[in-house]
C-alpha cells in the first residue's frame, strides 16, 4: 500500500479483540521505531513490551482513574508497549536548553508513530496513551526512579471491522505558504 493509504489505515483503536499478538510483529514495529530519526542521533528511547496477561492487566489498570476515567480499552489490548526516555547526547541536550524545546520528547513522538504505522502495516491497531499513573507503572515494572515513562502504546487486533472516517480540518485551514495567515 502507498503511504497515504497506510496513514489513513492508522487510527487510535479503542476496541480490541483479545487475540495474542505474535512477538515477531511487535519486533518489526520496534524495528520501525528504532529507525526513526532523532536529534543528534540520540535515540533517546527504550521500549518495554508488556504481553504477560497478568502484568499487562496490572499495567492497564494504571492507565485510567483519578480525575478522568479514560483508557478502559487498555484492558482489552493484548500488548502494551511502554516508551521510556533515555539520556540524550550532550549536543541534543544543549540544543534543547538553548532552543527551549524538548527534542527528546519530539524524538519519542516520531518513534512512537513509526511504531504505530508499522503496526498498521502488520494489521494491528494501536493507541498512544499519555494519561497514566507513571509512578504506579514504574514501580510494577522496576523502572528506575530517574527514568521517565513518556508514553504507553496499546496494541492488538481491532475488534471493529471498519476503519472509522477521519474528521480532519481541510488542507486550506492548516496550510499557508510563505507567511502565517
Q: What is the pLDDT of residue 30?
A: 98
CA dihedral 69, 70, 76, 77 (to 10 degrees): -150
Name the phi and psi angles at 60, rounded to 5: -60, -35
pLDDT of residue 167: 95
pLDDT given at position 61: 92
| pLDDT number for residue 92 | 73
Cβ atoms < 10 Å from Cβ of 94: 12
Residue 70 confidence (pLDDT): 81
Domains of the chain: residue spans and CATH: 3-174 (3.40.109.10)
Q: Which segments of the chain have a pLDDT < 50?
A: none
Amino acid at each position: 500500500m502507498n503511504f497515504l493509504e497506510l496513514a489513513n489505515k492508522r487510527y487510535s483503536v479503542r476496541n480490541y479483540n483479545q487475540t495474542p499478538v505474535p512477538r515477531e510483529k511487535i519486533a518489526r514495529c520496534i524495528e520501525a521505531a528504532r529507525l526513526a530519526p532523532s536529534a543528534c542521533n540520540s535515540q533517546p528511547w527504550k521500549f518495554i513490551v508488556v504481553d504477560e496477561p497478568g502484568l499487562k492487566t496490572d499495567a492497564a489498570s494504571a492507565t485510567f482513574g483519578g480525575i478522568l476515567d479514560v483508557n478502559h480499552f487498555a484492558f482489552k489490548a493484548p500488548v502494551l508497549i511502554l516508551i521510556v526516555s533515555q539520556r540524550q547526547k550532550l549536543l541534543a541536550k544543549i540544543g534543547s536548553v538553548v532552543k527551549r524545546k524538548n527534542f527528546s520528547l519530539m524524538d519519542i513522538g516520531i518513534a512512537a508513530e513509526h511504531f504505530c504505522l508499522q503496526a498498521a502495516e502488520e494489521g494491528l491497531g494501536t493507541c498512544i496513551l499519555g494519561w497514566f499513573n507513571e509512578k504506579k507503572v514504574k514501580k510494577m515494572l522496576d523502572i528506575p526512579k530517574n527514568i521517565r515513562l513518556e508514553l504507553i502504546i496499546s496494541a492488538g487486533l481491532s475488534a471493529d471491522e471498519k476503519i472509522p472516517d477521519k474528521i480532519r480540518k481541510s488542507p486550506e485551514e492548516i496550510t499557508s505558504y510563505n507567511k502565517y495567515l
